[in-house]
Homo-oligomer: A and B are copies of this chain.
Amino acid sequence: MTTLVHIDYPFKGPFGPALTEKFKSLAEETSNEPGLLWKIWTENPQQEEAGGVYLFQNESQAQKYLEKYLGKMISNGITEVRARIVKVHSELSDITNAPLSGQTTIQSSQ
């Protein structure tokens, strides 16, 4: 069952384009995580926070990723991570146009 992970943590920056430079290689690595359909990166410069919303194919993959991620954060000295795993209700989500599968590139051939 498709499963969502929310993560937020205190973060003093950089934000915006400088954040891209800082985390570009991490983003490329993240895109290859087992079972990850997508991740939205979030930032909240006014409240000095950053985070993400991840969609995984199933709960087991979400839990495995989160354990690895939290371990990495702790070893980097970041211990104030808020993390939640929630189940996706696919029928209601379909009605509100939710993107519950990976992106597909559709090319028109003539």
The chain A residues found within 8 Å of chain B, CB to CB, are 4, 6, 8, 15-17, 19-20, 23-24, 27-28, 30-31, 36-45, 49, 51, 53, 55, 84, 86-89, 91-93, 95-100, 102-103, 106, 108-110
Contact = CB atoms under 8 A, between A and B. Distances in A.
Given A4-B53, A92-B19, A44 B108 contact: no
Contacts of A36: 96
A97 B42 contact: no
12 contacts: A4-B53, A6-B6, A6-B53, A8-B84, A27-B96, A31-B95, A31-B97, A36-B96, A39-B98, A99-B103, A106-B106, A106-B108
A91 B20 contact: yes
Given A43-B86, A43-B89, A53-B4, A96 B17 contact: no
Nearest to A25: B95
